[in-house]
Structure 1
Amino acid sequence: MRAVAVSGAGNRQHKGLIEAQHRLRAQVFSDRLGWDVNVRDGVEIDAFDALHPTYIITVASNGEVVGCARLLPATGPTMAADVFSVLLPKGKLPVHARMIESSRFCVNTSVSEGQERGTLHQVTLTMFAAIIEWCLLNGYTEIVTVTDLRFERILSRAGWPLRRLGEPHKIGATMALAGALPVNRAAFETVRPANYHSDVTPQQLIA
């Protein structure tokens, strides 16, 4: 299992990886969670995918994409500020130049690779570690994200607790909240699984 960072800006070399993470998003957000997302031909894509994000993608040893997340600078359009402002204090995101937004985080925890009794799945921890690693290498110090209460508990179990930016609100069938996560070496060492492997390097590697 390994994590890679892929630029979404006209990336032809890794088109297959990007399409696979869009399919995983459809399976998780639409099929499993029942979210109201735009799915066409088995892939989930929204307007933020057109903003040249960086995708963090985890690939199993058999080549299957088992985890993904989308990273965009918090200074530009973000889901937190432009879609879920109700979750923010006074509807405003306390943004700074070294803040990045993570969105569309999802994992396939049904794969047998990386499953260990009583712990978080290795794909989840690999995704956490790769996101932090990429942010460290690219000068970011804080991650903002919109998530739900269940995932807030997962972050706490991983030792990477979310700092709430506002109170949770029910959005659809989900109790959602916005929060911030620290980016530092200690957080990386805490969440990194024993067999962690990545191809994440500065400046949106594999672009």
Structure 2
Amino acid sequence: MKALAVSRQGGEEERRLIHAQHGLRARVFSGRLGWSVTVADGIEADAFDCFSPTYILAVLDTGVLAGCARLLPATGPTMLETVFSQLLPPTGLPAHQGMVESSRFCVDTSITASEPGQTFSEATLTLLAAILEWCLYHHYTQIVTVTDLRFERILSRVGWRFDRLAAPCRIGVTDAIAGILPVDCATFLRLRPQGYRSEILSSCGAA
């Protein structure tokens, strides 16, 4: 498995992988989690896919997509401010040039089950490490994200500090929470799974 960072400006393979991540998002967020998202022809997409995001992908050696996440500068339109503003404190989002928003994080659990003795799948850890690696390379210092209480516990268990912006709020079928994650080399090196491979340049010496 390897980590990639792709955008719509890429070539044919990048476009194939971006299409695949839209399909994975439909299967996970609509099919598995029952979120209220827009799905058409097996594809989930929203307005934020039009703002030139970077997609962080975990891809099997066979070329099959195992997981994805979407990154956008927090100084531009964000999901947190426009879709999930009820998760913000009265002071609003403390956005700055060193902050990026992560959204649409998901893995294909049908192909990424944890190995015996492992708590988390390789795809989950690869994605988390790749997000950190990309942020480090592009000099971001914080990540803001909306997640649920289950994934907040996962972040705690892998040792990535999640600073809540406000109290959790029930949104649809989800107990949602917004928070900020620090970006640093120590967390990247701690999170990356054994044998981590990436095509994202890093200042932390990733293989």
Pick the TM interval, shorter chain: over 0.9
| Residue in structure 2 matched with residue 49 of structure 1 by the alignment | 49
Q: Please list, as runs of the form range in 1=range in 2, the aligned pairs for 1:60-79 lying within 5 A after superposition.
A: 60-79=60-79
Q: Would the aligned equivalents of 1:100 and 1:144 in 2 still touch at CA under 8 Å?
A: yes
Give 1:5 shift: 0.2
Give 1:195 shift: 1.2
Give 1:49 shift: 0.1
Q: Would the aligned equivalents of 2:6 and 2:54 in 1 still touch at CA under 8 Å?
A: yes
Q: Quick one: percent identity of the two aligned structures?
A: 57
Q: Which runs of 5+ in 1 are unaligned?
A: 203-207
C-alpha RMSD over aligned residues: 1.4
Q: Would the aligned equivalents of 2:74 and 2:97 in 1 still touch at CA under 8 Å?
A: yes
Aligned structure 1 segments of 4 or more residues deviating by more than 6 angstroms: none
Give 1:16 shift: 0.3
Give 1:115 shift: 2.6
Matched, 1:88 2:79: no
Q: Would the aligned equivalents of 1:143 and 1:183 in 2 still touch at CA under 8 Å?
A: yes
| Residue in structure 2 matched with residue 160 of structure 1 by the alignment | 160
| Residue in structure 2 matched with residue 11 of structure 1 by the alignment | 10
**Distance (Å, rounded) in 1 between the aligned partners of 2:33 and 2:117:** 24
| Residue in structure 2 matched with residue 205 of structure 1 by the alignment | none
What amino acid does structure 1 have at the position aligned with 2:43? Answer: V
Give 1:158 shift: 1.1
Q: Please list, as runs of the form range in 1=range in 2, the aligned pairs for 1:91-106 lying within 5 A after superposition.
A: 92-106=92-106
**Distance (Å, rounded) in 2 between the aligned partners of 1:116 and 1:66:** 18
Q: Would the aligned equivalents of 1:60 and 1:113 in 2 still touch at CA under 8 Å?
A: no
Q: Would the aligned equivalents of 1:81 and 1:91 in 2 still touch at CA under 8 Å?
A: no
The size of the alignment, in residue pairs, is 201
Q: Which runs of 5+ in 2 are unaligned?
A: 203-207
| Residue in structure 2 matched with residue 199 of structure 1 by the alignment | 199
Give 1:110 shift: 2.7
What amino acid does structure 1 have at the position aligned with 2:45? Answer: I
Bigger relative CO (Cα 8 Å, ≥ 6 apart): 1
* CA distance 1:91–1:46, shift in 2 (3 Å): farther
